[in-house]
């Protein structure tokens, strides 16, 4: 579906998060299935509204969408509509658990996998294979749970809806409650002859290898959602999603803060005093940078565009190099003599009258 999410919500491309939220709430109320019973067009539109909101209300997904278009078309699509229950949670503060949201076969659980990347991989973006062991549809019965050659039948208690509705008369009118059908566990089906391979459960353990596209600039703790690659649903239910948690390993040179990188660079004492060239490590290789005469420890050099790529955006952050002036520790006799001469010229000899007087003055 190549729908334009901005068009669906009727907001401008530069709409603020509040504008998106307001537009979404108005439309969702208008097209909610409960407000339009039996209208398939409204239900379809309601789904589109949710898809659009799911992307535009999340800054990372929105950036990704602005850049690449429909996120769900990508290999590691940032996900799609998370189920009607998501919306109920938004509207009713999560208290609306039962009823319509649970109708039908149960959805498969989400599955979490983890991949560890070096900082270099995170900067460039990589393709990674992830091995996931999960519950997949049974190959013998195609997930139905019924022995090959037989078919599940509609549940006699709930008539296939998977839920039992009760209407109570109260002073305030009729109150309807719905609960999962105990006979079929919400699947809406009964199985006379269970499939021997999966014992009628419809699912068996499978190990899957799939390729995940990690976008450049991804940070430690990010999660990529791969729609529909979690556990298979129960007897025809929707599959869960696979979440791939990203771990970015510590780097021996660079530390990271968002899109910026930091590192320490030592500057020889003489270069700091006289000025000259130092070498700063970057993700793209070492870089020669000039320092001015009289450079002090603690000064920083900011290198624009040498940090991490902005996730789902353009350009890169900066690299901040903290300069540390290095005091030599391995002087030979000749060097000691030269430095003593230098100190004498500067009137900086340890215990010399000049220096001592200056310290005394500072405390008076
Ligand atoms: Zn039932
Ligand atoms: Zn089976």
- The ligand placed nearest to the CA atom of residue 140 is 2
What spacing in Å lies between the alpha carbon of 236 and ligand 2's midpoint?
Answer: 12
Distance CA 293, CA 344 (A): 21
pLDDT in tens, 121-146: 999 999 999 999 999 999 999 888 89
pTM for the model stands at 0.57
Which conformational region is residue 297 in: left (phi greater than 0), alpha (psi within -120 to 50 degrees), or beta?
beta
Counting as low any pLDDT under 50, the low residues of the chain are 1, 71-102
List the structure tokens of 288: 């020669």
Query: Residue 178: its pLDDT value, please?
Result: 84
- The ligand placed nearest to the CA atom of residue 235 is 2
Residues 6+ positions from 50 with CB-CB distance below 8 Å: 28, 81, 86, 87
What spacing in Å lies between the alpha carbon of 203 and ligand 2's midpoint?
Answer: 6
What spacing in Å lies between the alpha carbon of 192 and ligand 1's midpoint?
Answer: 14
What spacing in Å lies between the alpha carbon of 261 and ligand 1's midpoint?
Answer: 57
- The ligand placed nearest to the CA atom of residue 181 is 1
What spacing in Å lies between the alpha carbon of 251 and ligand 1's midpoint?
Answer: 55
Query: Residue 328: its pLDDT value, please?
Result: 93
What spacing in Å lies between the alpha carbon of 164 and ligand 1's midpoint?
Answer: 8
Distance CA 226, CA 223 (A): 10
3-state secondary structure 101-139: HHCCCCCCCCEEEEEEECHHHHHHCEEEEEEEEEEEECC
List the structure tokens of 29: 């109320």
Query: Residue 29: its pLDDT value, please?
Result: 84
What spacing in Å lies between the alpha carbon of 109 and ligand 1's midpoint?
Answer: 21
Query: Residue 84: its pLDDT value, please?
Result: 34
What spacing in Å lies between the alpha carbon of 134 and ligand 1's midpoint?
Answer: 26
What spacing in Å lies between the alpha carbon of 155 and ligand 1's midpoint?
Answer: 5
What spacing in Å lies between the alpha carbon of 196 and ligand 1's midpoint?
Answer: 22
List the structure tokens of 36: 């339009």
Query: Residue 127: its pLDDT value, please?
Result: 94
Taking the alpha carbons of 175, 180, 181, 186 in that order, is the dihedral positive or negative? positive
Query: Residue 354: its pLDDT value, please?
Result: 60
What spacing in Å lies between the alpha carbon of 106 and ligand 2's midpoint?
Answer: 17
Beta strands in 227-274 (DSSP E): 242-248, 255-257, 260-268
- The ligand placed nearest to the CA atom of residue 164 is 1
Query: Residue 288: its pLDDT value, please?
Result: 97
Label residues 182-197 b or e (16+ Cβ within 10 Å = b). Answer: eebebbbbbbeebbee
């Amino acid at each position: 579906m190549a729908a334009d999410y901005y068009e669906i919500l009727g907001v401008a491309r530069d709409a603020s998060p509040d504008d998106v939220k307001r537009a979404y709430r108005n439309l969702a109320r208008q097209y909610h299935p409960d407000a339009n019973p039996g209208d398939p067009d409204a239900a379809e539109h309601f789904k589109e509204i949710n898809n659009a909101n799911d992307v535009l209300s999340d800054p990372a997904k929105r950036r990704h969408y602005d850049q690449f278009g429909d996120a769900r078309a990508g290999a590691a699509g940032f996900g799609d509509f998370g189920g009607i229950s998501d919306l109920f949670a938004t509207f009713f503060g999560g208290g609306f658990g039962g009823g319509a949201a649970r109708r039908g076969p149960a959805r498969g659980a989400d599955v979490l996998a983890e991949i560890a990347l070096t900082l270099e991989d995170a900067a460039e973006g990589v393709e990674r294979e992830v091995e996931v062991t999960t519950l997949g549809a049974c190959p013998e019965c195609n997930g139905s749970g019924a022995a090959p050659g037989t078919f599940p039948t509609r549940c006699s208690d709930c008539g296939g809806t998977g839920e039992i509705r009760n209407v109570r008369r109260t002073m305030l009118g009729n109150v309807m409650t719905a609960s999962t059908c105990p006979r079929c566990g919400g699947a809406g089906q009964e199985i006379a002859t269970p499939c021997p391979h999966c014992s009628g459960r419809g699912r068996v353990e499978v190990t899957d290898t799939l390729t995940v596209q990690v976008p450049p600039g991804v940070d430690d703790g990010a999660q990529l959602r791969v729609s529909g690659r979690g556990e298979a649903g129960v007897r025809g239910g929707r599959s869960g999603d696979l979440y791939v948690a990203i771990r970015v390993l510590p780097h021996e040179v660079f530390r990271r803060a968002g899109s910026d990188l930091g590192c320490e660079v030592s500057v020889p004492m003489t270069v700091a005093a006289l000025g000259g060239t130092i070498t700063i490590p970057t993700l793209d290789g070492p870089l020669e940078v000039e320092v001015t005469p009289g450079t002090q420890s603690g000064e920083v050099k900011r290198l624009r565009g040498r940090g991490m790529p902005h996730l789902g955006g353009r350009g890169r952050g900066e690299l901040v190099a903290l300069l540390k002036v290095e005091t030599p520790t391995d002087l030979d006799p000749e060097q000691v003599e030269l430095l003593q001469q230098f100190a004498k010229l500067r009137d900086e000899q340890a215990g010399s009258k000049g220096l001592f007087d200056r310290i005394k003055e500072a405390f008076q």
